[in-house]
C-alpha cells in the first residue's frame, strides 16, 4: 500500500506559532515553573454583565437552540449597523451590507476564498497578523509582501507599491489600528488606500478590531491626541475619534472592513465578528461562508447585540484597566532597554530590542527560560519584526508587577 500524502497546501503552512509555544509553556507550568503568559492577546476582563445575562436568559428558552439564518439574526445585524453609525459615523444597510462572522480569523478565509483563485496575487503587510499569509498559502495565492517600517509610521510606502508589478493582484490586507505595532489609523491613510485600490482594481480589506483599546483619540488614557501628528486637521471623524476605512467617500466600492467583539467587548471565546462592504461583495462572501459553517448560536448573537449597546463609560472603564497595565509594561520595556512609541494603541506594547541581541527570538527565549515570562518575539509577524518584541496587556496587574520584578532580577 502506498503512503498517503496530505494535500500540497499543508506543506505551505506550519502549526500556528502560539499553538506550539503555548504547549511548551503548559509543559513548563506542569513542572511547577510558574510561567507568566504575556504573549497572547486574549482579554481576561469579562464582557458586560447585561450581555451575559441576555445569553443566560435566551439559552433557557426552548426555541433558541436550532440552526439560525446564514446571514445572522436581524437583531445582530441591526446592532452592528447602529454601532457603526454611532461610533464610526458610517451608514450600513443591515440587510445587505453586513455579514456576521464566527470570528475575524474565519473571515480572512472566507474573503480569500471569495476573491482569490490559485496563483492570484495578494498584498500582505510585513509585519502583520500571521493568518493573512497562512490563509493566502492555503488558498494557493501568490503572496506579495509589502514593507511597513517604523520610519514611515508603519504605513505602506505607496511610491514603492506603485513600482511593484500589480497586474495579477486581486486583494490587499491592511490592519489599522495596526497589530502588532499599535500604529493608529488616519483618514489620510485610508483615503490613499481607497484611491490605490480603485486605481489598480484591488480589493482593500481592513481588519479593524483594536479601535476601542487605548486609542488616544477615543479613550481618556492620558495621551495627547495632538501628539499623533497625523497631518490631518479632520482626523477626528466624529466626537468619538474612531475611524473606519468605510468612512471614506466611495470606499464601499472597493473595500471590506472586518470588526470583532473579541477585543473591544472582551469576548474572544464567543467568536463574534462581522464584515461590511457593498452588497455584491457581501453576497459573494456569503456564498462561500454558507458552504463552510452553519451560523452562530442565537443566544450568543442576542448577547452580542446587547454588548454592542455599551456606553462610552463602559469603554472608559475597560481602558482605565489597560492604561494601568500599560504603565507596568512600559517599565518592563525600559528595564529591557527596549525603545517604544508611547503613542501606540491596542492591547499590546511593541518595542525595539537593544542591538546586543541578535534578534527578537533570542531575547524572548532568554526571558522565557531565565525569568519564566512568555512574551512574543516579533519575527513571527514577518522579517520587519525581527528586532522587536510584543508584550500583551491581557494579564492582571499583580502578574505584570511580578513579571516586572523578574525582569529586573534577570537584568
Question: Is residue 135 within 8 Å of residue 108, measured between CB atoms?
Answer: yes
Give yes or no: residues 192 and 260 share one domain: yes
In 3D, which of 132, 189, 130 has the Cα closest to residue 156?
Answer: 189
* End position of a domain, from candidates 290, 307, 324: 307
Work out the average pLDDT over 270-281: 97
The CB-side HSE value for 331 (13 A sphere, CA atoms) comes to 15
Give yes or no: residues 153 and 132 share one domain: yes
Residue 285 resides in a domain: yes
Residue with cell 546586543: 356
- 234 is written with which cell numbers? 479632520
8-state DSSP, 148: B
What pLDDT was estimated at residue 11? Answer: 85
Residue 106 resides in a domain: yes
Give yes or no: residues 288 and 341 share one domain: no
Strands 169-174 and 142-147: unpaired
Give yes or no: residues 32 and 117 share one domain: no
pLDDT per residue as tens digits for the range 231-252 = 333 333 445 679 999 999 999 9
Give yes or no: residues 240 and 345 share one domain: no
Give yes or no: residues 167 and 271 share one domain: yes
In 3D, which of 388, 322, 399 has the Cα closest to residue 353?
Answer: 388
Give yes or no: residues 38 and 55 share one domain: no
* End position of a domain, from candidates 307, 331, 363: 307
Residue 69 resides in a domain: yes
Residue 166 resides in a domain: yes
Residue 2 resides in a domain: no
What pLDDT was estimated at residue 14? Answer: 82
Lowest mean pLDDT among 58-62, 86-90, 234-238, 404-408: 234-238
Residue 146 resides in a domain: yes
What pLDDT was estimated at residue 278? Answer: 98
Give yes or no: residues 14 and 59 share one domain: no
Give yes or no: residues 207 and 355 share one domain: no
Residue 83 resides in a domain: yes
Range(s) of the domain holding residue 24? 8-46+313-410
Give yes or no: residues 83 and 182 share one domain: yes
Residue 1 resides in a domain: no
pLDDT per residue as tens digits for the range 142-172 = 999 999 999 999 999 999 999 999 999 999 9
Work out the average pLDDT over 63-87: 96
375: left (phi over 0), alpha (psi -120 to 50) or beta: beta
Tell me how far apart the alpha carbons of residues 277 and 281 are, in angstroms, rounded to a whole number.
6
Mean pLDDT, all residues of the chain: 92
Tell me how far apart the alpha carbons of residues 114 and 108 are, in angstroms, rounded to a whole number.
10
* End position of a domain, from candidates 307, 332, 351: 307
Number of structural domains the chain divides into? 2
* pLDDT for residue 230 is more than 80: no
Element (H, E) at 171: strand 169-174
Give yes or no: residues 151 and 42 share one domain: no
- Domain with 295 in it: what CATH number? 3.40.640.10
Give yes or no: residues 322 and 294 share one domain: no
Amino acid at each position: 500500500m502506498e503512503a498517503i500524502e496530505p494535500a500540497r497546501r499543508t506543506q505551505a503552512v506550519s502549526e500556528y506559532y502560539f499553538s506550539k509555544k503555548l504547549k511548551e509553556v503548559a509543559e513548563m507550568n506542569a513542572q511547577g515553573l510558574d510561567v507568566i503568559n504575556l504573549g497572547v492577546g486574549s482579554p481576561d476582563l469579562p464582557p458586560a454583565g447585561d450581555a451575559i445575562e441576555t445569553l443566560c436568559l435566551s439559552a433557557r428558552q426552548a426555541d433558541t437552540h436550532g440552526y439560525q439564518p446564514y446571514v445572522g439574526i436581524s437583531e445582530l445585524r441591526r446592532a452592528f449597523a447602529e454601532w457603526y453609525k454611532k461610533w464610526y459615523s458610517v451608514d450600513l444597510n443591515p440587510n445587505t451590507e453586513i455579514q456576521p462572522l464566527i470570528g475575524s480569523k474565519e473571515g480572512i478565509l472566507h474573503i480569500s476564498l471569495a476573491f482569490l483563485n490559485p496563483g492570484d496575487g495578494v498584498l500582505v503587510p510585513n509585519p502583520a497578523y500571521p493568518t493573512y499569509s497562512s490563509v493566502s498559502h492555503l488558498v494557493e495565492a501568490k503572496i506579495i509582501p509589502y514593507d511597513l517600517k517604523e520610519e514611515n509610521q508603519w504605513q505602506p510606502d505607496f511610491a514603492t507599491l506603485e513600482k511593484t508589478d500589480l497586474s495579477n493582484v486581486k486583494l490587499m490586507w491592511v490592519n489599522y489600528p495596526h497589530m502588532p505595532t499599535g500604529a493608529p489609523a488616519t483618514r489620510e491613510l485610508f483615503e490613499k488606500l481607497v484611491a490605490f485600490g480603485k486605481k489598480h482594481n484591488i480589493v482593500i480589506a481592513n481588519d479593524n478590531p483594536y479601535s476601542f483599546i487605548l486609542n488616544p483619540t477615543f479613550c481618556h488614557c492620558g495621551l495627547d491626541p495632538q501628539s499623533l501628528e497625523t497631518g490631518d486637521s479632520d482626523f477626528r471623524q466624529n466626537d468619538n475619534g474612531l475611524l473606519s476605512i468605510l468612512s471614506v467617500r466611495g470606499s464601499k466600492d472597493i473595500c471590506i472592513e472586518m470588526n470583532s467583539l473579541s477585543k473591544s467587548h472582551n469576548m474572544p471565546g464567543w467568536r463574534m465578528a462581522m464584515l461590511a462592504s457593498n452588497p455584491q461583495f457581501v453576497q459573494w462572501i456569503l456564498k462561500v461562508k454558507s458552504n463552510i459553517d452553519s451560523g452562530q448560536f442565537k443566544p450568543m448573537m442576542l448577547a452580542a447585540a446587547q454588548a454592542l449597546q455599551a456606553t462610552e463609560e463602559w469603554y472608559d472603564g475597560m481602558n482605565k484597566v489597560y492604561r494601568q497595565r500599560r504603565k507596568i509594561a512600559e517599565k518592563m520595556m525600559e528595564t529591557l532597554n527596549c525603545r517604544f512609541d508611547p503613542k501606540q494603541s491596542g492591547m499590546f506594547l511593541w518595542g525595539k530590542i537593544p542591538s546586543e541581541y541578535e534578534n527578537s527570538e533570542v531575547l524572548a527565549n532568554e526571558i522565557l527560560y531565565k525569568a519564566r515570562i512568555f512574551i512574543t518575539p516579533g519575527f513571527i509577524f514577518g522579517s520587519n519584526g525581527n528586532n522587536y518584541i510584543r508584550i500583551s496587556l491581557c494579564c492582571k496587574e499583580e502578574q505584570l508587577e511580578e513579571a516586572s520584578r523578574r525582569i529586573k532580577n534577570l537584568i
